[in-house]
Amino acid sequence: PNVLDFQIPGGMLSNLANQLKEAGMEDKYQDLLDEMPRVRKDVGYPPLVTPSSQIVGTMATFNVMSGQRYKMVPNEFKDLARGKFGRTPVEVDRKFLTDTLGIAPEDIIEDCSIEDAKAKTFDEFKEELKGKGYLNPTDEDVLSYALFPQVAEEFFKAHYKPITAYVKE
């Protein structure tokens, strides 16, 4: 198959073929080759490098194996579509995000712009985090927050407990 026609990196072709073979569905190989660029289009044409190539390939495989598009959607695919890994070259259709993938509008990440990060200094981002109750952010925490504020805050909420009140003794 032509790598350019199907938009699949060469190394993925054999892996996808093996997955279908193991499932006894090797006759669906052409369907998978056809589905890959459709899935890639749906999710905004991300570059097919790790991890996005595996995410798109897995979604295309699920679509072909289930016989229905987007019946089973891995969280990684939803994260890619909603902007957790940054913006895709083409904006993902909001109706696709909300109706097809079931992503709540408030979970769509729209503020991953490097331009936004340039507006403040490192120390300003650090102070902003402290103001949100994360009193001892690491340099990595501050950089994550500066580049991907929504994603970083989701992570912080899951892994750190913010201090929101002080108690005098």
* Average pLDDT along the chain: 85
Q: What pLDDT, on the 0 to 100 scale, is given for residue 117?
A: 47
Is residue 70 assigned to a domain? Answer: yes
pLDDT tens figures, 28-46: 999 998 999 999 999 999 9
Q: Do the beta carbons of residue 79 and residue 56 sit within 8 Å?
A: no
The 3-state secondary structure of the chain reads CCHHHHCCCHHHHHHHHHHHHHCCCHHHHHHHHHHHHHHHHHCCCCCCCCCHHHHHHHHHHHHHHHCCCCCCCCHHHHHHHHCCCCCCCCCCCHHHHHHHCCCCHHHCCCCCCHHHHHCCCHHHHHHHHHHCCCCCCCHHHHHHHHHCHHHHHHHHHHHCCCCCCCCCC
52 and 75 assigned to the same domain: yes
| pLDDT, position 44 | 96
Please state the length of the chain: 169
What is the span of the domain harbouring residue 18? 3-107
Q: Which residues contact 26 (CB under 8 A, 6 or more apart)?
A: 17, 20
77 is a domain residue: yes
Report residue 144's pLDDT band, with 50, 70 and 90 as the boundaries. confident
The arithmetic mean of pLDDT across residues 4-25, rounded, is: 81
Asked if the structure places residue 90 within a domain, the reply is yes
Q: Please check whether residues 149 and 74 belong to one and the same domain.
A: no
Domain count, the chain: 2
Q: Is residue 94 part of a domain?
A: yes
Prediction pTM value: 0.66
